[in-house]
Amino acid sequence: MSLPEDNKPQKQRPSSLESLEHRLYSRVPPPLRHDEEFIGEEKHIRIAPGWTSEAEREHGTFYTLLSATMPWLKGFLIASIIFFLFAAGIAFFGFFRGGNTVSPQNISINVVGPVGTGAGEEVPLEISVGNDNAIDLDSVSLLVEFPDGTKKPGELSEALLRYRDTLGPLPAGKHIARNLSFVPFGEEGETKTVTVTAEYRPKDSNAIFSKKTTYDFLVSSAPVTLTLGIPKEVNSDQDFEMNVTISSNASAVQEGLLVKAQYPFGFQFVESEPAPSFGKDAWFIGDLQPKGKRSIIIKGKIQATEETERTFRFAVGAQSAKDEKQLGTVFITEAPTVAIRRPFLTLDLLVNGGKGKTFIGRSGQTVRADVVWGNNLPVKIADLELTATLKGTIYNQGSVSATGGFYDSNTGTVLWNKQKTARFGVVEPGENGTLSFSFMVLPVATDPASFKNPELTIEVTAKGKRLDEQGLYQNVTSSVMKELKISTALALSSRLLHDEGPFGNTGSIPPKAEEETTYTVVWALSNTSNGVANANISAVLPSYVKWLGHVEPVSEDLTYSPVGGELVWKAGEVESGVGVGAPPREVSFQVSITPSQTQVGTSPTLIGETTAKGTDRFTGMEVVSNSKQALTTGLLSDSGSSAKSGKVAP
């Protein structure tokens, strides 16, 4: 009798792996498990009866309603699509086949005018609006928009921006025409555009529609011509002139003309005739009559470190109504190009060792001028000649001295040539040198009426001959100009009074220790050749001097600060010639002193050192007067007074 599987010895039982392997590779399907075998694994989930009933009830109601309305919704959608297609077909048919509708394609706008016209000339236009629809238009309006710069015929000072006209009803198949004119302005060769719009309202409709077209024309000629006289080639840093001529090219008066210049880099404006109206680049020439002409001469120079080309730009047109410095409408422009060449000779002038265009000198001063030159050409220069011309009357002709040169007092010219300087016969490439001369400025303070705003111009010119490409000698020139301005001489004087002057003074003379004595101080200001602005005179009162606050004349701005004791007279403007051939500018004020015993036998200081400063209006430089030494009691200016009158008595 065999033992059951479970009762077999342990070593005879198949292991779990062996059982699994047997089941995997066995060709006999495993026996089916009976339901009883799952009884122990069954799990029960209990659902609340109330929740189940509510969900089922809502779920059933929704699907019942959806099922009832779905056929109706499908029918409504199909009907809407059919209606839309029908309406679109009706609209399509009416739009392209006519009927009681207005098509924009059946509204016509025709503009008839010249294809080209001169600026400033009156241009006629014929504009017609047609209605080729089957129904009438209750209202038609015409709007014409003109390009910038357009003017009204007969009133060229008034701008014409737009034109509007109510044409009224326009029956089907009819046309309405209007004639109008305008005066265009613009640059020669410019295309201008006029925009024409027809606004219309169909019969029995409140809607307004529009149709637009454009009319283009060419500005065939400008109302003015611009002629430029500009050299094609100039030397660097050498003055040259440009002649700008504006001529009328129209049958009507051209109003409010403005000329604008645009300078290239490196150009320095010197002057013009007439002077610019705005800045250095705009000239208002006003109205120009038919066949009229205006000219502007501009003087300047261009600085360049190498040979190059620079372009100028000149424009003429009507002045802008918004900005008087700008062009509103441009009539014509020109842009000439100038070739810049290095000067054949480096030429510079130093005054008292300083460089620059303007130098400031003093009355009675000795001035030294140095002319620096050098050959820039790759070839020799023959017969070099340099001249320095003094233009002005503020120098002493007898004081002119030139090293290696000759001064001609008849022409005010210092000359250096090959007769005076042998090396000027032939100057090699790269050769250079320095020439010097000196002169003395006249003491202009002696006659300020004759030397108001005194100045002197020194112009140095170099001439010579060089060989050109053909082996021929060609004359070459170069020049440089500097100016010397003489500053004014501002002078200050002071006086001390006791018995005289505008105030009644008290106390004894000489002053006594521990007793108060009052004095009057008078400041006088003189000025020679140039007006002075913002003149200020200042001094400091010692701590033992009392300021009494009395000033004469009361119109003068004289103030005293108790902190620091500074006394300031703001004289302001001081005209030239004051105190020289005319009374000086004066102010008087009163102070007092109570000497102490320690000051017995001395002359105490009443006013410290005094100076005057201001700005020379001609030279733009600050001028400072001579400094006046401290004013003591021993400097009393009363009649009969002496140095002993100022020593403190016991």
Q: Are 479 and 459 within 8 A, CB to CB?
A: yes
Query: Is the entire prediction scored with pTM above 0.85?
Result: no
What pLDDT score does 47 carry?
A: 45
Q: Are 383 and 440 in contact (CB under 8 A)?
A: no
In the structure encoding, which two tokens stand for residue 299, read together?
Answer: 């003087």
Q: Are 130 and 107 in contact (CB under 8 A)?
A: yes
Same fold, 224-341 and 346-486: yes
- The answer for 56, left when phi > 0, alpha when psi is -120 to 50, beta otherwise, is alpha
Given this model, what pLDDT does residue 40 score?
A: 46
How far apart (Å, rounded) are the C-alpha atoms in residues 530 and 576? 5
- What's the confidence (pLDDT) of residue 450? 63
- Look at residue 313 in the predicted model and tell me its pLDDT: 93
**Residue 570: φ, ψ to 5°:** -90, 90
| DSSP for residue 324 | T
> For each successive 10 residues of the chain (650 residues), what is the average pLDDT?
46 61 64 49 46 50 63 75 73 52 84 84 89 87 88 80 89 89 82 91 83 88 85 80 88 84 91 92 89 90 81 89 84 87 81 83 88 86 91 88 89 90 88 92 67 86 79 78 87 92 92 94 91 93 94 94 93 88 91 94 93 90 85 89 88
Give how far Cα 29 sits from Cα of 16, 26, 34, 327, Å. Answer: 18, 7, 15, 108
Burial state string for 246-274 with b = 16 or more CB within 10 A and e = fewer than 16: bebbbebebebbbbbbebbeebeeeebee
Tokens found for residue 317: 């047109």
DSSP type of residue 275: P
Give the tokens for residue 241. 């002139």
Instruction: Write the CB contacts of 123 (distance below 8 Å, at least 6 apart in sequence).
Output: 113, 114, 117, 181, 182, 183, 184, 217
pLDDT for the residue 41? 46
Using CA atoms, how far apart are residues 627 and 275, in angstroms rounded to an integer? 43
Residue environment code for 69-85, b if the CB has 16+ CB neighbours within 10 A, otherwise e:
eeeeeeeeeeeeeeeee
> Which residues are 280's β-sheet partners?
none
At residue 569, the pLDDT reads 95
Whole-angstrom distance, CA of residue 111 vs CA of residue 210:
16
DSSP sequence for 87-126: HHHHHHHHHHH-SSS--GGGEEEEEE--SEEETTS-EEEE
- Cα separation, 494 vs 608, in Å, equals 11
**Residue ranges of the domains in the chain?**
104-221, 224-341, 346-486, 490-646
CA separation, residue 179 to residues 55, 112, 117, 176, 594 (Å): 84, 10, 17, 11, 101
Residue 86, class by beta-carbon neighbours within 10 Å (0-12 exposed, 13-18 middle, 19+ buried)?
exposed
**Neighbouring-strand partners of residue 131:** 107
C-alpha torsion angle, residues 420, 422, 423, 424 (rounded to 10): 50
Q: Which residues pair with 411 in a beta bridge?
A: none
- Would you identify the CATH topology of the domain 346-486? Immunoglobulin-like (2.60.40)
Q: Tokens representing 366?
A: 């000795």
Arch. (CATH architecture) of 490-646: Sandwich (2.60)
At the topology level, CATH places domain 104-221 in: Immunoglobulin-like (2.60.40)
CATH architecture group of domain 224-341: Sandwich (2.60)
Sign of the CA dihedral 495, 497, 503, 507? positive
**pLDDT value at residue 445:** 55
Residue 88, pLDDT score:
67
